[in-house]
């Protein structure tokens, strides 16, 4: 199918599937696919070629790394990052100074993982380090590396899962996931939980960088990171190409609300589409339905049933049910609007796309305007927002429970954060 199918998406899927093969025939087929007329197929083939970890994968990738087409050159570098062969490393280190930011950042992420050093875009320094240390370096097999990365299991706190991860956030007019990332507790704040002073929580947070419409290529999206398309998700055509390359070479894309129609369906069409309800405002009950999914582990423990705040949403219509899994559903929303899918995900090339109809940052007590009493707020925080019981016990007597606004400053709806964190755990268990 990789060589003969007329459908580019089928060829792309075939290229991705061959990543797990170690056979010479698979390597040969992938090497031939580097010349596919559709760049989306060629970049998936390049990454798969590297993931085979076959010695014969190195030379075709080295040749492709000289391409003038940044998409192909960059995919070759991603493949060389995966191939775990010493002969690939000098080219990766030289690419730390590539003129295309996405390629330079990709190479730098790999170089840091191998060396535990950071010379940024100074390729001369990286190559000097390699000359001095290459005989000491052990490149682990995929199986060995995965075993070492089991430290990202479910017992690891959120801030550790995100440590040293490149998180890129689209600065937009609607959602602001960065306000959630900034509230992730670390150190003393994590131990104190919701009782921690705001000044202590401010010392923590998940580091991130921002990009804007028209700046995705200059800012660089590299596939060992994650990208969040905040609602409204409005980007330019040049941005869409950069995001498409990012996802197909292994990046994870998280979208909220309008990002479905403005970004996701334009980057990877045919799996989900938006039903536009721009003039609707509602709060609906929801429930997890993919109960065996690893992405829901710990998200709704203890019978948590979240509320989703809909603010002129793009509801999620699933077009291709074989490719897409619904994680959270709302019968209430389906009864009112005809569509109840709240959160979905699907593979896209070597990457993954997850979309949620709500805003990551606008959940919780601030919208629960019908609640008037302290005990009702506390019950809502536990039942709808996944407030841990130990944090409830530690804060039950606090005066700030007296108003929705004050309580919202101290109590974060953790369901969206935990969901995103589970996807990141999975990604980090498979990569650098």
What pLDDT is stored for residue 186 in this prediction?
60
Task: Tell me which residue of 357, 229, 206, 231 sits closest to 284, measured CA to CA.
Answer: 357
What tokens were used for 262?
């403005």
What pLDDT is stored for residue 174 in this prediction?
72
Query: Angle between the 101-115 and 237-248 helix axes, to the nearest 10 degrees?
Result: 30
What tokens were used for 365?
């007590």
Cβ-count burial of 132 within 10 angstroms (0-12 exposed, 13-18 middle, 19+ buried)? exposed
Domains of the chain by start residue, with CATH: 8-139 (1.25.10.10), 158-363+413-430 (3.40.50.880), 365-410 (no CATH)
C-alpha distance from residue 20 to each of 6, 378, 431 (Å): 23, 48, 14
pTM: 0.91
d(CA 183, CA 167): 15
Based on its alpha-carbon atoms, the radius of gyration of the chain, rounded to whole angstroms, reads 22
What pLDDT is stored for residue 153 in this prediction?
63
Q: Any idea which residue has 């949403």 for tokens?
A: 313
What pLDDT is stored for residue 327 in this prediction?
98
What pLDDT is stored for residue 198 in this prediction?
40
Does an H or E element contain 111, and which?
Answer: helix 101-115
The full DSSP string for 115-167 is HS---TT-HHHHHHHHHHHGGG-----HHHHHHHGGGGSTTS-HHHHTTT--E
The whole-number mean pLDDT for each consecutive block of 10 residues of the chain, a chain of 432 residues, reads 94 97 97 98 99 97 99 99 96 99 98 95 98 90 71 71 92 80 63 41 72 97 95 92 98 94 96 93 94 94 92 94 97 97 98 93 85 95 93 95 92 88 89 72
CB 81 within 8 A of CB 110: yes
């Amino acid at each position: 199918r990789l060589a003969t199918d007329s459908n580019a998406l089928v060829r792309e899927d075939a290229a991705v599937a061959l990543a797990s093969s170690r056979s010479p025939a698979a390597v040969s087929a992938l090497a031939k696919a580097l010349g596919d007329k559709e760049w989306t197929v060629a970049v998936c083939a390049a990454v798969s070629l590297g993931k085979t970890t076959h010695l014969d994968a190195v030379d075709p990738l080295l040749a492709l790394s000289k391409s003038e087409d940044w998409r192909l050159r960059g995919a070759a570098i991603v493949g060389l990052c995966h191939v775990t062969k010493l002969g690939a490393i000098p080219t990766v280190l030289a690419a730390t100074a590539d003129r295309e930011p996405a390629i330079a950042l990709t190479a730098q992420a790999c170089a840091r993982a191998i060396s535990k050093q950071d010379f940024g875009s100074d390729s001369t320094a990286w190559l000097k380090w390699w000359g001095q240390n290459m005989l000491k370096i052990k490149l682990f097999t995929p199986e060995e590396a995965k075993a070492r990365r089991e430290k990202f299991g479910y017992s690891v706190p959120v801030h550790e899962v995100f440590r040293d991860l490149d998180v890129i956030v689209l600065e937009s007019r609607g959602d602001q996931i960065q306000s959630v990332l900034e509230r992730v507790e670390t150190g003393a704040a994590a131990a104190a939980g919701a009782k921690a002073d705001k000044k202590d929580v401010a010392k923590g947070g998940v580091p991130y960088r921002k990009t804007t419409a028209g700046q995705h290529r200059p800012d660089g999206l590299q596939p060992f990171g994650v990208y969040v398309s905040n609602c409204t998700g409005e980007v330019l055509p040049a941005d869409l190409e950069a995001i498409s390359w990012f996802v197909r070479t292994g990046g994870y894309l998280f979208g909220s609300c309008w990002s479905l129609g403005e970004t996701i369906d334009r980057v990877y069409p045919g799996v989900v589409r938006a039903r536009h309800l721009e003039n609707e405002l509602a709060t609906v009950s929801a429930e997890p339905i993919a109960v065996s999914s690893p992405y829901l582990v710990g998200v709704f423990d203890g019978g948590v049933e979240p509320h989703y705040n809909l603010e002129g949403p793009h509801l999620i219509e699933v077009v291709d049910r074989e490719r897409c899994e619904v994680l959270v559903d709302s019968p209430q929303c389906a009864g009112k609007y005809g569509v109840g899918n709240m959160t979905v995900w699907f593979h896209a090339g070597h990457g993954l796309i997850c979309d949620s109809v709500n805003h990551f940052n606008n959940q919780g007590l601030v919208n629960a305007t019908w609640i008037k009493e302290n005990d009702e707020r506390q019950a809502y925080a536990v039942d709808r927002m996944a407030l841990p019981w130990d944090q409830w016990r530690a804060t039950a007597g606090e005066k700030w429970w007296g108003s929705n606004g004050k309580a919202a400053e101290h109590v974060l709806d953790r369901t969206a954060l935990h969901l995103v964190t589970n996807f990141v755990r999975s990604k980090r268990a498979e990569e650098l």
